[in-house]
A and B are shown apart, each in its own frame.
Chain A
């Protein structure tokens, strides 16, 4: 019996989330296979084959899988599910979108966003915005799992698995792509960044956000993040949002600027190694989780910090 990891990729390269998911899978057993489903995705399959610990890569290459839509992808995974004890995908918008369909079609529960593996049937997952950790045991024949990427190290290269093709089921034809507006940035990806500079409502507007935070992020080689309030107010795009219902991050250094520290925000960043808070309100809850708190006006303090680095 083996374990199946569903790779997140853009046909050419693997997303970092695939590496974290593989690490979680290797805690469950030693025979781990990776499915690369896409179109013209041989390069992504090659990248999966060299990950350390991968026993085999299965490639489903079909036009119907090009956009990664949930319906066709779930049908594919269900068609090849027999023989696997566990099926895992990252708890990113990619994995969260299609994997519950797989679980429903297999008539099993999904175990969402695990942060630890206890044994082959038992997992730990955060609930209530991470204010509690539940240990849950599954009685289903196959365990369908999404993985909190920040809770598992990234698997490294060093393998040389064989690549095998699998057929894709017929196109369900119910979904079509109208367009994508993807953020392009020279900065590191938020989910994988070592340093994150994150801004909240205290920045006041989008221009201030860029003028005050971008130079600091440049100096630190950091990714930029934001609170929900900053995204809702249109300072930055939605993919900047850190929190319970945005991205979960755990960098070496997280600098929260003009962010109050609502539980929904803390849920996305409190596993960061070092947290710095800059806020003019000495009673802001963000200071309760900050390793280093600086009370002050961000418009004075942040430029000073940028200059001092």
Chain B
């Protein structure tokens, strides 16, 4: 098969970090914070690499948009098994629509048969980019995937929806976005980390792609959410029931 899979990934604050709002309320404090690949994107890389290992796909290309440091994240994707990588480099604050437009330009160059991305980035929690890319490409989409089968120029995808599971078939090319149960991403082995250093990583200047990436949303302030006031410990079930009945009045 000659299927080429493009996997857009994002460098984000590691999921174990509890971020703090800056004192001037201009944003969250990212100085000296551990950065990692967005967990849903690891699932996307894993799925693409498995499709290649199964002989369904021929090539896996990881792509990200952002600052120079994002090269690290692309190396991590190649250590998991992506064949090569593309950084669309820019210092501009990128919002999902801008990323979708940049990815569209990359799709025009690369002509992938399938895009697999994470359903949401755990920093802005937007859950938009895959759907936006699919729309701009005029492609179908299968979001929140927990199972993917590629056959006969179609993707059959089981989706995690609010009511349970829904399985759909979409024609290729298409965009698939990953949910948590799709797979368990592998850890990169040391030899694969070494190999990844030699894999090709192309850098494209975002400006060279000729798309409008100016932010559409201006952040006016970022604030701490209201704190819950500390509760109490109850000694036993009887006390708990009493509190719920007579103090909280919720049962």
Contact = CB atoms under 8 A, between A and B. Distances in A.
A69 B250 CA distance: 39
Which of under 10, 10 to 19, 20 to 34, or 35 or more describes the interface residues of B? 35 or more
A308 B241 contact: yes
Interface string B149-188: 0000000100111111111111100100001110000000
Interface residues of A, number: 86
Contacts of A127: 28, 123-125, 222
A136 B219 contact: yes
Contacts of B132: 100-101, 103-104, 110
Most buried by B among A96, A100, A112, A191: A100
Contact of B163 (A99, A183, A232): A183
A103 B230 CA distance: 41
A264 B40 CA distance: 13
B251 A309 contact: yes
B164 A239 contact: yes
Most buried by A among B100, B128, B165: B128
B225 interface: yes
B143 interface: yes
Contacts of A71: 140-141
B135 A132 contact: no
Most buried by A among B124, B174, B221, B231: B231
Interface stretch (B15-23, B44-52, B68-76, B192-200): B15-23
B109 interface: no
A238 B237 contact: no
A220 B251 contact: yes
B251 A135 contact: no
Contact of B232 (A100, A112, A264, A293): A293
B125 A110 contact: no
Decide if the interface of chain A is mainly helix, strand, loop or mixed. mixed
A235 interface: no
Nearest to B166: A180
A204 interface: no
A232 B131 CA distance: 25
A177 B134 CA distance: 18
B54 interface: no
B170 A174 contact: yes
B163 A108 contact: no
B240 A276 contact: yes
A135 B125 contact: no
Most buried by B among A99, A131, A132, A183: A132
Interface string B208-251: 00000000111111111100101111101110110110001011
B243 A237 contact: no
Decide if the interface of chain B is mainly helix, strand, loop or mixed. mixed
Nearest to A302: B237
A132 to B, nearest CB: 5
B221 A135 contact: yes
Interface in A275-309: 275-276, 287-295, 301, 304-305, 308-309
A100 B218 contact: no
B18 A263 contact: yes
Given A112-B127, A129-B125, A288-B230, A237 B180 contact: no
B13 interface: yes
A131 B21 CA distance: 8
Contacts of A174: 139-140, 170-171, 174
B180 A253 contact: no
Contact of B141 (A101, A103, A292): A101
Given A132-B19, A292-B243, A301 B96 contact: no
B97 A108 contact: yes
B24 to A, nearest CB: 13
5 contacts: A71-B141, A127-B124, A135-B221, A136-B219, A140-B216
Q: Closest 6 A-B residue pairs measured CB to CB?
A: A100-B131, A109-B216, A104-B132, A101-B135, A291-B231, A174-B140
Given A131-B225, A135-B219, 14 more contacts: A100-B135, A102-B135, A103-B128, A112-B126, A126-B125, A133-B224, A174-B139, A175-B140, A180-B166, A237-B165, A245-B122, A253-B251, A292-B240, A309-B241
